[in-house]
Structure 1
Amino acid sequence: MTWINNLYDTYEKNLSRVGVIEQKGNQEYTLMPIAHTTQTAHIEVSITENGEFHSARVLDKIITLIPCTESSSSRSGSKIAPYPLHDKLSYVAGDLEEFGGGEKEKKQFSAYLAQLQDWVESSSSHPKIKTVYRYISGGNLIKDLVQEGILVTDNGKLVIKWNKSFDEKFGSKPELFSKVTGDVTSAFVRFNVYSAQNEQVEIWNDKDVHNSFAEFYLKTLTGSDYCFVTGKYEPITERHANKIRNSADKAKLISSNDKNEFTFRGRFDKSIEAASISYEVSQKAHNALKWLINRQGKIVNERLFLVWGNEDLDIIAPDLDTISIIPRENIKKNETNTLKGFANEVSKAIDGYKSDLNTRAEVNILILDAATQGRMSVQYYKNLDKELYLERIKKWHQSCIWKHEYKKDDNKEKIIFYGVPSTKDIAYAAYGRKANEKVIKSTMERMIPCIVENRRIPQDIIRSIVYRASNPQTMDNWEWRKTLSIACALLNHKEGIGVSLNKESKDRNYLFGRLLAVAYHIEKWAQSVQNEYRETNAERYMVSFSNKPQRTWKIIHDNLLPYKARLGGRATKLYDLIIEITNQFDEEDFNDKPLDGKYLLGFSSQVMDLDKRKHKDDEGVDLNGNFRS
């Protein structure tokens, strides 16, 4: 239960942020107080300090922080379990019976009012709650909302669903009927206290109100048992939080609601014997998790990836590419446009997180996913010493490295950088842009231990990405170039050959890749002379070349003859390079034995090297087929 314990500690260390509204993009969120949850509110009712109706308005499905009990947070449609303050119209409207409500609605209101009264009469009560209770006790909510034009009656009965016949009778449809699905008595109502003399904090944002209910509710909990997290005897809960990834998420991390089947029967007599967690710990841990997800979590097809520090929440995530960890203002510096420049920037970025290291500095990596609508599982969890974590991140960015040139998702500008691709880009490179999202998120998850635990990259991922990089005909040119550079990064991590061209290597795979690169370069150069831009023979025969390199090289080499004639003496140095590379082969290595992924390293490094060379007539060709002037 280390992950629960660390989430609980995170909550305790951030008590000053409880109830403080934060914003990420257009989304507001907060570290929720215990005994609170969120609901989508449809109606806001403002009450004067004297407990009289002031005004009401329809909301645009606004997420609102509300107090809750164990039973209300997990209530079903048939179960009567009111929320303590804000709730559905059928619970909070005492006069609904006068407008067509039945026995069920009457019981719901009675239960709601009795629970609210207990809070009002407790020692931890709050003036705002007393004001709301005074108004609710009057039983005039439906009348007031009808008078405000929010609700509509027909022959003295509340119109709960709108149909076309009402258009002629009442004119335009009231706004609320467009916000609520089905019966308007299910519209969620939130209350607020209005003051003409001074501005008051809204009830749902008022820390004093939060503390008032938490103190009241904790005193109502009975029965203690051993908490597996704190090691203390405290009130235990069997009803743990949902709405973990978003407000509509029903999946729970901890649940035991099946007593008739075999959820725990046969192993334990009671569910708490399997997981005995106190109510307070459960609330704080789950609320910390929700807050961290809103703050810095990443969700890919409902799978959650979360990284946080126990001392400093912000930490470099392992799934990021190199360009994402370097400050944007440093990217376009001249000294950054080299392998050494990027390496220096990565070191500075990572070392910046070491300034606050202490003996208890740790990093948590958590991956969650829901197998069913109601069950969520921990797919991966790792707790590491922060210094060790940062060293492994640095090692990853220094070893799984290549030169990349592609557009970022959030930036239309093409970026050239030396470094690591993101785990998401690795997954798409391995299985294609049209791959099932389950495959993509699974691949991303499998890459995390390779980074944070220094494990080997799974061979099936490398095989798949090498195969796709060897098939340029199956994808657009930009996608092939991106796949090739990512494949080279992963192969370089495995082989440790380096980005720069290794002219001393006698590895047959590497040498065959260099030969293919020279042929590719010659044909691209010859095409540009006559403004032709089409697929080269090197690209067309790449699959055959990787399977039978000697036989396919003869075909590619013979097809270079017309391009040699077109270029004339300008290509002499390139033909001399072919002879030079061929002479480096050991005689027994120049055969048809299939090539491994290292040939892609030789191919890419040789192309980059040729791109830098200066010819008398032309500057060289890059992987785009462009010539430098």
Structure 2
Amino acid sequence: MSWLLNLYETYEANLDRVGEIERKHNTQEFTLLPISHTTQNAHIEILVTEDGEFHSARVIDKDDASTLIPCTEESASRAGSKIAPYPLHDKLSYVAGDFVAYGGKIKKEEPFTYYIQQLKDWANSPYAIQKVKSIYTYLSKRQLIKDLVEEKILWLDEEGKLIEKWDKKYESFIGDKPSIFSVVAGGQESAFIRFNVHSSNEILTHVWKDQDMYKSFIQFYNDLLSDNDLCFVTGKSLPSTERHANKIRNAADKAKLISANDTSGFTYRGRFNKSNEVASISYEASQKAHNALKWLINRQGKIVDQRVFLVWENNGQRIPDPTADAYDTFPSSSSVDTKVEKRSFTNQEFANEFAKALDGYRNKLSSKANVNILIVDSATTGRLAVLYYRNMDKELYLNRLIKWHSTCVWMHRYRKNNNNEYVEFLGAPSSKDIAFAAYGPKASDKIVKGLMERMLPCVIDDRNIPLDIVRSALLRASNPVSMERWEWEKTLSVACSLINKREGYRVTLDTKNNDRDYLFGRLLAIADVLERQALGREETRASNAIRYMNSFSKHPARTWKTIQDSLQPYQARLGTKANYLSSLIDEVASRIKIEDFNNRSLSGKYLLGFYSQRHELYQKKDKKVSNEGVTN
């Protein structure tokens, strides 16, 4: 129950944010829901006066459809033909007293009877505010559809019945297709109605955003709850529930994390007689925990193919994401390498710089703060499972991030800043970029989410990266002709990060490293830079070193002879300008032992030597070599 308890405590720590409207980057609104409330997409908004008279109505745009509505246990989990009205806003068949008179179809009993009785109880309770009474007064007149037809919101056929589905034959007496048929997926009968109250004296808060409305229903509904039992989450004796929330990942999500309706299956049969003997959870704890989870997912969760990756701290402070790259993890957009690059880079130096960058997060968290990591996904439409959960001390978590970004580290240049310019940054790549490097940019979401889950223990538990992932990225990075230049450069730097995690090399060129594979990689880089220098800025074709890279990784000695033979025309073209690079080839090749100069395939270390040597040459201003060609 630890994840439920931490979600419950998160809700308790953020009570001041309940009902507060927040926006995502795409302007979609979300909020920390009050208990006994949920969200629903509404299609029609009806405005009534404080005296309970019809004022006006409109069809709601899709961007404004999300509505916070009160709900009961029964209505939150209603399905099929079951009659379980929402307390205030609901479908047309529930809120319209004249629904049957206008041809509305009902299977058994009329839902309006149950709806209006429940609303009456609320309106007559000591907790009801004027808005509830105004809406009840209007709806009890049973003329909602009549008013909507006169307002030209709903439309009738020749027989005076609600049009089930729009057809071109109605254009003869209606005209163009009314907007209601564009926002409702089914017929007009399935339209969801929300209510608002109009005042001529003052501007009233929208009903679905009114804190007093929330409190009114919560107090009313709490008096209806009974059957106290021991809550396994809070340890208190409180009214229990067997109906738990859905719509966890989005408004259309039907999957539940907790469910006990399989009385004839094998969920608990043979061990317990009743579901509450397995675990009893109070209504309050269930509501607060699920609402906190919904809020956190909207606020900072990552969703890949409906799998949720969530990291949070109970007090609501922002926490660095373990699946993000170093560029996103730093509090500012500036990269750390500006200071480190001038020195002889080591992992420890970068770890120190990274630790300083994380101090902003560290200082905001309380001394007792814990970090929660949660992964949830659904195998079926109705069941949501917790695939992974960890609760960690904040210091341990941040130290693991520092170690991850300072060991799985390399120089990357595939991110853009606010000016849409490519920037270099040091650190680990994101889990999603690792997936694309290993399996290609067209990898399915199923593959990506699976890899992201496998990489999480590598970050927060300091485990080794699975060999199949490293091997796949190495093979793709060794085959540059199979992809676009930008894609290969990104794949190369990500692959170097993964290999460096296992090898522990420096990012800057290690001129004292005499490892055979590292030296072969350096030779390949020098050959590439020399040919690019000879070709100049105008020529964009791949060099022979790049073209033969895949073969070189498998048969280095044999392929190097082919590459070196192809370099001779370019060395002749450059003349004395090629002296430095030619002598560098001789110097690096001379350090390879005779017995190691063979066709044994190269390990991933050759990529580290290739990348570091090439980067070093491109940065040498005194030799006037750039990655564009010759610099005059």
Query: Counterparts of 2:180 and 2:141 in 1: how far apart (Å)?
Result: 24
Q: Residue 2 of structure 1 aligns with which residue?
A: 2
Q: 1:407 to 1:52 in 2, by over 3 A?
A: same
Q: Residue 237 of structure 1 aligns with which residue?
A: 241
User: CA contact under 8 A between 1:546 and 1:595: conserved in structure 2?
Assistant: yes
Of 123, 128, 133 in structure 2, the residue corresponding to residue 130 of structure 1 is 133
Q: Quick check: 1:161 aligned with 2:187?
A: no
Q: Residue 292 of structure 2 aligns with which residue?
A: 288
SS in 2 for 1:157: coil
Q: Residue 443 of structure 1 aligns with which residue?
A: 451
SS in 2 for 1:369: strand
Of 145, 148, 156 in structure 1, the residue corresponding to residue 148 of structure 2 is 145
Q: Residue 424 of structure 2 aligns with which residue?
A: 416
Structure 2 length-normalised TM: 0.93
* 1:343-396 Cα distance to aligned partner (Å, 9 max, x none): 776333301112134342111111222212222222222111112111211222
SS in 1 for 2:223: helix
Cα deviation, residue 493, structure 1: 2.0
Query: Counterparts of 1:82 and 1:41 in 2: how far apart (Å)?
Result: 15
Cα deviation, residue 195, structure 1: 0.9
Query: Counterparts of 1:313 and 1:356 in 2: how far apart (Å)?
Result: 7
Query: Counterparts of 1:509 and 1:409 in 2: how far apart (Å)?
Result: 35
Structure 1 length-normalised TM: 0.94
Q: Quick check: 1:432 aligned with 2:440?
A: yes
Query: Counterparts of 1:395 and 1:209 in 2: how far apart (Å)?
Result: 49
Tell which deviates more after alignment, 436-445 or 122-131.
122-131
* 1:224-265 Cα distance to aligned partner (Å, 9 max, x none): 333221122322222211111111111111122222222332
Cα deviation, residue 628, structure 1: 4.4
Q: Quick check: 1:499 aligned with 2:499?
A: no
User: CA contact under 8 A between 1:342 and 1:417: conserved in structure 2?
Assistant: no
Q: Which amino acid aligns with 1:76?
A: A
Q: 1:542 to 1:166 in 2, by over 3 A?
A: same
Of 246, 258, 263 in structure 1, the residue corresponding to residue 262 of structure 2 is 258
Query: Counterparts of 1:224 and 1:288 in 2: how far apart (Å)?
Result: 23
Q: Residue 52 of structure 2 aligns with which residue?
A: 51
Q: Residue 93 of structure 1 aligns with which residue?
A: 96
Of 472, 475, 479 in structure 1, the residue corresponding to residue 480 of structure 2 is 472
Cα deviation, residue 337, structure 1: 6.8
Q: Residue 551 of structure 2 aligns with which residue?
A: 544
Q: Residue 619 of structure 1 aligns with which residue?
A: 624
Query: Counterparts of 1:245 and 1:394 in 2: how far apart (Å)?
Result: 30
* 1:447-475 Cα distance to aligned partner (Å, 9 max, x none): 22211121111111111111111111111
User: CA contact under 8 A between 1:471 and 1:542: conserved in structure 2?
Assistant: yes
Cα deviation, residue 189, structure 1: 0.8
Cα deviation, residue 332, structure 1: 11
Q: Residue 564 of structure 1 aligns with which residue?
A: 571
Q: 1:407 to 1:13 in 2, by over 3 A?
A: closer
Cα deviation, residue 312, structure 1: 4.1
Cα deviation, residue 594, structure 1: 1.6
Cα deviation, residue 603, structure 1: 0.9
SS in 2 for 1:404: strand
Q: How many residues align?
A: 624
Q: 1:584 to 1:437 in 2, by over 3 A?
A: same
Cα deviation, residue 110, structure 1: 0.4
Query: Counterparts of 1:333 and 1:448 in 2: how far apart (Å)?
Result: 25
Cα deviation, residue 287, structure 1: 0.5
Of 208, 213, 224 in structure 2, the residue corresponding to residue 209 of structure 1 is 213
Q: Quick check: 1:397 aligned with 2:405?
A: yes
Query: Counterparts of 1:572 and 1:120 in 2: how far apart (Å)?
Result: 92
Q: Residue 468 of structure 2 aligns with which residue?
A: 460
Q: Residue 595 of structure 1 aligns with which residue?
A: 602
Q: How does 1:331-350 map to 2 (within 5 A)?
A: 331=335, 346-350=354-358
Cα deviation, residue 528, structure 1: 1.9
Query: Counterparts of 1:572 and 1:170 in 2: how far apart (Å)?
Result: 85
User: CA contact under 8 A between 1:47 and 1:54: conserved in structure 2?
Assistant: yes
Q: Quick check: 1:120 aligned with 2:94?
A: no
User: CA contact under 8 A between 1:330 and 1:336: conserved in structure 2?
Assistant: no
Cα deviation, residue 326, structure 1: 3.5
SS in 2 for 1:497: coil
SS in 2 for 1:220: coil
Cα deviation, residue 27, structure 1: 1.0
SS in 2 for 1:45: strand
Cα deviation, residue 333, structure 1: 10
Q: Residue 226 of structure 1 aligns with which residue?
A: 230
Q: Which amino acid aligns with 1:229?
A: V
Query: Counterparts of 2:31 and 2:530 in 1: how far apart (Å)?
Result: 60
Quote the RMSD (CA, aligned, Å): 2.3
Q: Residue 196 of structure 2 aligns with which residue?
A: 192
Of 604, 613, 624 in structure 1, the residue corresponding to residue 611 of structure 2 is 604
Tell which deviates more after alignment, 458-467 or 443-452.
443-452
Query: Counterparts of 1:3 and 1:546 in 2: how far apart (Å)?
Result: 47
Q: How does 1:16-55 map to 2 (within 5 A)?
A: 16-25=16-25, 26-55=27-56
Cα deviation, residue 105, structure 1: 7.8
User: CA contact under 8 A between 2:553 and 2:602: conserved in structure 1?
Assistant: yes
Q: How does 1:48-87 map to 2 (within 5 A)?
A: 48-61=49-62, 62-87=65-90
* 1:407-459 Cα distance to aligned partner (Å, 9 max, x none): 44987421222222111111111110111221111112222221112111111
Query: Counterparts of 2:58 and 2:580 in 1: how far apart (Å)?
Result: 79
Q: 1:343 to 1:454 in 2, by over 3 A?
A: closer
* 1:8-28 Cα distance to aligned partner (Å, 9 max, x none): 000011111111112223111
Q: Which amino acid aligns with 2:255?
A: A
User: CA contact under 8 A between 2:374 and 2:389: conserved in structure 1?
Assistant: yes
* 1:103-145 Cα distance to aligned partner (Å, 9 max, x none): 6486201010111122223332222212211111111111211
Cα deviation, residue 501, structure 1: 1.1
Query: Counterparts of 1:114 and 1:39 in 2: how far apart (Å)?
Result: 22
Tell which deviates more after alignment, 353-362 or 289-298.
353-362
Q: 1:99 to 1:609 in 2, by over 3 A?
A: closer
Query: Counterparts of 2:130 and 2:152 in 1: how far apart (Å)?
Result: 29
Tell which deviates more after alignment, 424-433 or 339-348.
339-348
Q: Which runs of 5+ in 2 are unaligned?
A: none
User: CA contact under 8 A between 2:331 and 2:360: conserved in structure 1?
Assistant: no
SS in 1 for 2:488: helix
Q: Residue 317 of structure 2 aligns with which residue?
A: 313
Query: Counterparts of 1:164 and 1:569 in 2: how far apart (Å)?
Result: 80
